[in-house]
């Protein structure tokens, strides 16, 4: 049987079901940020905290120099009162002249996967 480490258990057990509209409202009310306005601020890069919530800006990402145009990042928002989290997947594209351009975001949740890989002897 697969044993989960404490960090993995936390990610899987503390996830709250939440809609995109609920996320939008929390981010607006708690941090006074319009999460849909990528021109004004870069929420995907923002590390912020108040009495109720903490934003952890990058728990996973892909893209950048040498990895093509695709770029994405997963941010975690922790409710410090309930110890529950929700996750935001920001997606966009990257080029060496302009850096990252965000195109949008969606709510995601972690799932456990088992993977088998083969290596040479």
pLDDT surpassing 90 at residue 20: yes
Q: Which residue has the higher pLDDT, 57 or 87?
A: 87
Residue 1: predicted pLDDT: 42
Strands (E) across the chain are located at 48-49, 53-62, 70-79, 84-95, 99-108
Residue 66: predicted pLDDT: 74
Whether 3 maps to a domain, the answer reads no
Whether 31 maps to a domain, the answer reads yes
Whether 27 maps to a domain, the answer reads yes
Give percent of the chain with pLDDT exceeding 70.
81
Whether 116 maps to a domain, the answer reads no
User: Can you give the residue range of the structural domain that contains 93?
Assistant: 15-108
Whether 65 maps to a domain, the answer reads yes
pTM of the model: 0.76
């Amino acid at each position: 049987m697969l044993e989960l480490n404490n960090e993995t258990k936390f990610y899987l057990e503390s996830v709250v079901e939440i809609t995109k509209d609920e996320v939008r409202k929390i981010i607006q009310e708690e941090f006074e940020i319009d999460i849909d306005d990528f021109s004004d601020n870069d929420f995907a890069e923002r590390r912020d905290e108040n009495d109720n919530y903490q934003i952890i800006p990058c728990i996973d990402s892909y893209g950048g120099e040498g990895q093509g145009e695709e770029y994405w990042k997963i941010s975690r928002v922790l409710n410090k009162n309930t110890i529950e989290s929700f996750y935001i997947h920001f997606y966009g594209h990257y080029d060496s002249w302009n850096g990252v351009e965000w195109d949008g975001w969606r709510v995601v949740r972690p799932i456990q996967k088992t993977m088998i890989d083969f290596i040479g002897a």
